[in-house]
Amino acid sequence: MTVRTRFAPSPTGYLHVGGARTALFNWLFARRMGGVFILRVEDTDEARNTDEARQAIFDGLGWLGMDWDEGPGKGGPCGPYFQSERKAIYDAWFEKLRAADRVYQDGGAWRFRFDRKPVTMNDLVCGEVTIDYRDESNTPDMVVRRSDGSYVFHFVNVVDDLEMGITHVIRGEDHLMNTPKHLQLIEAFGGTAPQYAHIPLILNQDGSKMSKRDEGAAVGDYPRQGFLPEAVVNFIALLGWSSKTDEEIFTTAELADRFSLEAVNRAPARFDIEKCRWVNQQHLARLDAAGFAAKAEEFVRGAGLPVGGDWPAAVALVRDRVRLLGEVPGEVGFLLTDRYADDPEAVAKVAGNPAATGLLENLASTLPGLPAIADAEAAKAVLKQIADAAGVKPGALMFPLRVALSGRAHGPDLGGMMVLLGNARCAERINRLVAKL
């Protein structure tokens, strides 16, 4: 049997991280089992569906690298893959229920007549769940077709799963109580039910349910901030799944190789945007210098900074200081242009050191006559020379020099900065700060 999973979003807004996690678990399971991953769009709510929301789903899944085997843009043997184009299919399946006397009219709508018995499902994550349909007051017959002729979610969801041969339904735990209804419909149709796996909800750190307004909820925000898609995939995979090891950083291929429903946790997952940034930092660290520079270039250019010459070396100098590519311009700007703002607090701290001005003046006058500083060791030697002449330790010069070269109190390796800027530019920046002091 070929495993067939599906992701069935409704295009009423942006792609939520919870929806992306559902899609990912279905995609990973299909890839792990050598199966088929289907994208179908539940777009029957004409009042709320938009083209922009539909495109956001396609763009979000594409950015994350979750390619679908059947669905919009790909086709397949079970189309159409938009529910809005499947009404004739739904009408035919509805007639099956009417022929079997399992539906009746009620105020213009059509209700499905439940079989009044306990229904037990064996969920692959939640275990055994039973709903007792013998008490009609708690489980009234459900509407499957509205008075305007449109069909409700439960009906079309089941029909589509049967028509598309879905073998495993992996979806959020909020759908758990819907499943016995779906099992009754499947039984009435004489179909074979897929296996169900209801994955845990995603909560905020404080235990509240994650909403569309919470930070990190919109998948479309991640690329703009400079997250790597493989890092976001890695992070959302950890929202409810565990490798059963101490490892947390995985490539997408490694996730597909290791994923299993048995390793999905029952407890709700806690969303932590700081953890997501940390995961991204680990993936950035795996890039080589050229790869990091290539991915950072869009953000550097977007900030209006010049990209040329030794800019990859400048970017490499700050890579350990950033968690997101969007942070690169703020860290590297002073290395790429002489037009940057000084931190007033850092300048004031240098001004409060009586020895700083003399040390900086001596360094500025010495640098132009020295050979080009080739590496960090050569930079240290120059600083030691100036410090020894003044009878102080080199550390006394480091903070004032850092502020002179960068305008800030913290930054990348001081020797690396001197190498990249060169003797003349270092002297110019030192003199500029001295003038302020």
The DSSP secondary-structure symbol of 126 reads T
Residue reference for tokens 């350990």: 320
Q: Could you say which of 74, 117, 209, 212 is catalytic? A: 212
The helix/strand/coil state of 169 is: strand
The alpha carbon of residue 312 and the mean position of all alpha carbons in its chain are separated, in whole angstroms, by 26
* Cross-strand bridge partners of residue 75: 71
Structural contact between residues 23 and 66, judged by C-beta atoms closer than 8 angstroms: yes
Task: Give the whole-angstrom CA distance, residue 167 versus residue 224.
Answer: 36
Active-site annotation holds for 212:
yes
The DSSP secondary-structure symbol of 264 reads B
Task: Work out the burial of residue 180: count CB atoms within 10 Å of its CB; fewer than 13 is exposed, 13-18 middle, 19 or more buried.
Answer: buried
Q: What's the token pair of residue 179?
A: 């499943």
Structural contact between residues 273 and 215, judged by C-beta atoms closer than 8 angstroms: yes
CA distances to 106, 234, 264, 275, 332 from 270, in Å:
43, 15, 14, 10, 33
Structural contact between residues 38 and 22, judged by C-beta atoms closer than 8 angstroms: no
Structural contact between residues 175 and 118, judged by C-beta atoms closer than 8 angstroms: no
Peptide bond between residue 80 and the one before it cis (omega within 30 degrees of 0): yes
The alpha carbon of residue 197 and the mean position of all alpha carbons in its chain are separated, in whole angstroms, by 22
3-state helix, strand, coil in the chain (%, to 5): 50, 15, 35
Q: Which helix (H) or strand (E) holds 171?
A: strand 168-172
Q: What are phi and psi of 359, to 5 degrees?
A: -60, -45
* Nearest of 258, 249, 264, 263 to residue 198 by alpha carbon: 264
Task: Give the whole-angstrom CA distance, residue 206 versus residue 127.
Answer: 27
Report the 10 Å Cβ neighbour count for 256.
18
Q: Which residues are catalytic?
A: 212
